[in-house]
Amino acid sequence: MSNFAITRQKMVDGQLRTSDVTDRRILDAMLSLPREIFVPEDRRALAYLDLDLDIGPTGSKRFLIKPMTTARLLQAAEIKPTDKVLIAGCATGYMAALAARLAAEVVATESDSALAARGNDILPKLVQQIVTIQTVETTAGWPAEAPFNVIVLNGATEITPEGLYQQLAESGRLVGVFASERPSRAILVTRSHGDFGHRTLFDVAAPILPGLERRAEFVF
């Protein structure tokens, strides 16, 4: 067994199972998918640590969010084998690859063109279905493929992402970390007859996704 396979097993046993991740499909996906491939070579030794791992160019602050946060958001989304899923702000595509093990169809977006290109190179080698990362702002979603049964934010938001809400199908679910207040919390948003319900899931912190930052307020 390779060193990465050993650390992957330790991640699943020590970070996921101990954090109430019980969905066997997610555990199996995270045990089999090589997370290190989505990380720059000089940071691959950190791929399975319990941290938000900065994978972008110097100063860009783009992350793979913690394995535990990733798993718990996917579990809360309750992705079905028939679902169409949007992963917003996917970075190099790790969460999109996991979702592809769970859903019928996956669309991903990323605002950083270099990260999107890297992800589009990686994904065909690891997943059977076609998953293309579209280079657009996080708030834009991907209207051409909407509506989605599930939308997952691969990070946190300080604003209400209304544009993404509108791309949910009836009975669709959006999950992400909402950081407009402290402490930040993972929240499940559901759409029913044009209205949106919100349910708090658990307290958690995650890096803010580009474009989902709170606007600076002017003080006179």
95-137: per-residue pLDDT in tens? 999 999 999 999 999 999 999 999 999 999 999 889 999 999 9
Task: Give strand pairing partners of 215.
Answer: none
Sorting pLDDT into bands at 50, 70 and 90, what band is 56?
A: confident
Question: What is residue 178's predicted lDDT score, i.e. its pLDDT?
Answer: 98
194-212 mean pLDDT: 96
* 153 occurs within a structural domain: yes
Segment 41-65 shows an average pLDDT of 89
Residue 157 in any domain: the answer is yes
Collapsing DSSP states into helix, strand and coil, what is residue 144?
helix
What phi and psi values does residue 148 have, to the nearest 5 degrees?
Answer: -110, 140
Element (H, E) at 85: strand 84-88
Residue 82 lies in a domain: yes
Alpha carbon distance 25, 7 (integer Å): 19
For 140: left if phi > 0, alpha if psi spans -120 to 50, otherwise beta; the answer is alpha
Question: Quick one: pLDDT at residue 194?
Answer: 85
User: Quick one: pLDDT band at residue 58, thresholds 50, 70, 90?
Assistant: low
- pLDDT reported for residue 1: 56
Give the pairing of strands 148-157 and 133-134: unpaired
In a domain, 143, yes or no: yes
Residues 174 and 211: their CA atoms lie apart, in Å, by 17
CATH number of the domain that residue 146 is part of: 3.40.50.150
Residue type, 139: T
- pLDDT tens per residue across span 159-197: 999 999 999 999 999 999 999 988 999 999 999 998 999
Maximum CA extent, the chain: 62
Q: What is the pLDDT of residue 2?
A: 75
What is the domain extent for residue 107? 67-203
Residue 149: inside a domain: yes
Query: Could you report the per-residue pLDDT of 85-94, keeping only the tens digit for each?
Result: 999 999 999 9
CA distance 208 to 155: 6
What confidence score (pLDDT) does residue 59 get?
58
Distance CA 65, CA 80 (A): 23
Name the one residue in this structure whose structure tokens are 């919390």: 185
What DSSP state is assigned to residue 34? Answer: -
Tell me, what's the pLDDT at 216? 65
Residue 208, in any domain of the structure: no
Helix, strand, coil percentages in the chain from 3-state DSSP, rounded to 5: 35, 25, 40
Average pLDDT of the residues in 60-68: 90
Angle at CA of residue 170, ends 168 and 84, nearest 5°: 55
Query: Who's near 125: CB < 8 A, 6+ residues apart?
Result: none
Model confidence at 154: pLDDT above 70: yes
**Structural domain tally of the chain?**
1
Residue 133 domain-assigned (yes or no):
yes
Residue 10 lies in a domain: no
Tokens of 99: 């979702």
Residue 19 belongs to what H/E stretch? none
Q: What is the mean pLDDT of the chain?
A: 94
